[in-house]
């Protein structure tokens, strides 16, 4: 949909400079934008690109002036960009109810304002709140609870008794509540430990495609409010991830670990089992927490060390073969000196 620049200024609470009547149809990148587009500059180093930019308006931070241009001035241009993008998408489609080809158990309790697409399977006693959309091929096992305004994309599977809060977004084939990986040695074989717990995803959680959140052995695995997981992430049974934490693709959090609030884990990072990570911890890509981690740190490597030290370390490791040679030469020269002095 379209909007006037004035409308958009109100949506994001920005100061408007220029023509409030200017019609905006799209948000578009600075180098591709055309007439009718709005673009944004979050990073000052891209300011020079604005000279050739054909957009009809630009979202900028305070202190930037572009004579003759239509501007939305706001302290956080990136956030304003996201909010305008959302606004221009318009309202989500109206609820369509249970569509033909969907399989819904008689005992399921669905709000009237849901959409359940063809090929979706909704089990016994499942509850789904208003505004939620269940895409094709989603499978909800018995006794699952889905809150309001959730989006469960195609291929999502939520196993028995797991619970989702409101506004939870599950990308395609996210797997919620598969059995945790637990086996008791029984002689030389393994005996499966039934995983009778559940998974709880709190409000505003988003889980990426093909990410797996295992159900607890006993009790629950819990992802707290506002936390976002990227694709192909593994969360082990009985783990707990705090609020507003960001976990990038292919991270693994092993069983029974506890991650704090406002953490950020880079891609392919890992947390060992039964480990506690505090709040505001940033772990760099492929970093590995093998023990507890105190709050308020930026760490990398295995074992984790301060990120800056890790950078230095990785730069110096390729010198080790040369260092070994130098060390041997020093030993030889030193031994020569020692024997020389002995003679004297």
Active site residues: 237
For β-strands 212-214 and 175-178, DSSP reports them as: parallel
For position 321 contacting its own copies by CB under 8 A, the verdict is: yes
Task: Identify which of residues 70 and 171 has a Cβ nearer to its own copies in the complex.
Answer: 171
Place of tokens 């050739």: 52
Tell me which residues in 144-173 interact with its own copies (CB under 8 A).
153-155, 157, 159, 169, 171-173
Contact 132, 112 (CB under 8 A): no
Task: Identify which of residues 65 and 302 has a Cβ nearer to its own copies in the complex.
Answer: 302
Q: Give 98's strand partners.
A: 116
Contact 253, 241 (CB under 8 A): yes
Helix (H) or strand (E) holding 34: none
Contact 255, 235 (CB under 8 A): no
Question: What distance in Å separates the CA atoms of residue 241 and residue 265, rounded to the nearest whole number?
Answer: 11
**Least distance to its own copies, CB of residue 85, Å:** 5
Question: What distance in Å separates the CA atoms of residue 95 and residue 100, rounded to the nearest whole number?
Answer: 14
Task: Identify which of residues 65 and 296 has a Cβ nearer to its own copies in the complex.
Answer: 296
User: Which residue in 295, 296, 299 sits closest to 307, CA to CA?
Assistant: 299
Task: Identify which of residues 17 and 83 has a Cβ nearer to its own copies in the complex.
Answer: 83
**Least distance to its own copies, CB of residue 320, Å:** 5
- What track of x and - describes contact with its own copies for positions 37 through 56 (by CB under 8 A)? --------------------
For position 121 contacting its own copies by CB under 8 A, the verdict is: yes
Here the tokens at position 148 are 């309001």
User: Which residue in 102, 114, 120, 126 sits closest to 157, CA to CA?
Assistant: 120
Q: Which of 254, 263, 283, 299 binds its own copies (CB under 8 A)?
A: 254
Q: Which of 32, 43, 49, 294 binds its own copies (CB under 8 A)?
A: 32
**Least distance to its own copies, CB of residue 306, Å:** 9
For position 209 contacting its own copies by CB under 8 A, the verdict is: yes
The one segment of 16-24, 59-67, 73-81, 106-114 that binds its own copies by CB under 8 A: 73-81
Would you call 276 exposed, middle or buried from its count of C-beta atoms within 10 A (0-12, 13-18, 19+)? Answer: middle
Q: What is the DSSP letter of 343?
A: H
**Least distance to its own copies, CB of residue 260, Å:** 13
Would you call 113 exposed, middle or buried from its count of C-beta atoms within 10 A (0-12, 13-18, 19+)? Answer: middle
The one segment of 2-10, 49-57, 58-66, 131-139 that binds its own copies by CB under 8 A: 131-139
The one segment of 44-52, 54-62, 66-74, 248-256 that binds its own copies by CB under 8 A: 248-256
For position 249 contacting its own copies by CB under 8 A, the verdict is: yes
Tell me which residues in 218-237 interact with its own copies (CB under 8 A).
218-219, 226, 228, 230-232, 234, 236
Q: Which of 136, 203, 276, 298 binds its own copies (CB under 8 A)?
A: 136
**CA dihedral (154, 156, 158, 162) positive or negative:** negative
């Amino acid at each position: 949909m379209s909007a006037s620049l004035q409308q958009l200024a109100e949506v994001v609470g920005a100061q408007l400079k220029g023509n409030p009547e200017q019609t905006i149809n799209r948000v578009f990148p600075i180098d591709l934008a055309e007439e009718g587009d709005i673009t944004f500059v979050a990073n000052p180093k891209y300011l020079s690109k604005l000279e050739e930019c054909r957009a009809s308006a630009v979202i900028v931070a305070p202190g930037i002036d572009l004579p003759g241009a239509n501007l939305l001035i706001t302290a956080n241009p990136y956030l304003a960009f996201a909010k305008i993008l959302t606004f221009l998408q318009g309202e989500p489609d109206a609820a369509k109810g249970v569509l033909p080809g969907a399989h819904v158990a008689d005992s399921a309790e669905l709000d009237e304002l849901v959409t359940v697409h063809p090929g979706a399977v909704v089990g016994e006693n499942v509850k789904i709140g208003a505004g939620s959309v269940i895409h094709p091929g989603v499978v909800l096992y018995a006794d699952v609870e889905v809150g309001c305004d959730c989006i469960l994309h195609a291929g999502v599977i939520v196993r028995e008794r797991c619970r989702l809060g409101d506004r939870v977004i599950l990308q395609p084939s996210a797997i919620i509540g598969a059995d945790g990986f637990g086996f008791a040695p029984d002689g030389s074989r393994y005996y499966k430990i039934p995983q009778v717990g559940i998974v709880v995803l709190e409000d505003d959680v988003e889980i990426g495609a093909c990410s797996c959140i295992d159900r607890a052995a006993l009790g629950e695995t819990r992802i707290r409010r506002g936390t976002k997981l990227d694709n192909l992430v593994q969360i082990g049974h009985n783990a707990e991830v705090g609020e507003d934490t960001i976990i990038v693709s292919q991270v693994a959090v092993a069983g029974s670990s506890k991650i704090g609030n406002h953490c950020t884990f880079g891609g392919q990072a890992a947390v060992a089992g039964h480990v506690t990570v505090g709040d505001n911890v940033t772990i760099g890509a492929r970093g590995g927490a093998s023990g507890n981690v105190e709050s308020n740190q930026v760490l990398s490597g295995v074992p984790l060390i301060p990120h800056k030290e890790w950078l230095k370390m990785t730069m110096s490791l390729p010198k080790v073969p040369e260092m070994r040679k130098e060390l041997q030469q020093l030993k030889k020269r030193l031994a020569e000196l020692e024997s020389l002095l002995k003679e004297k």
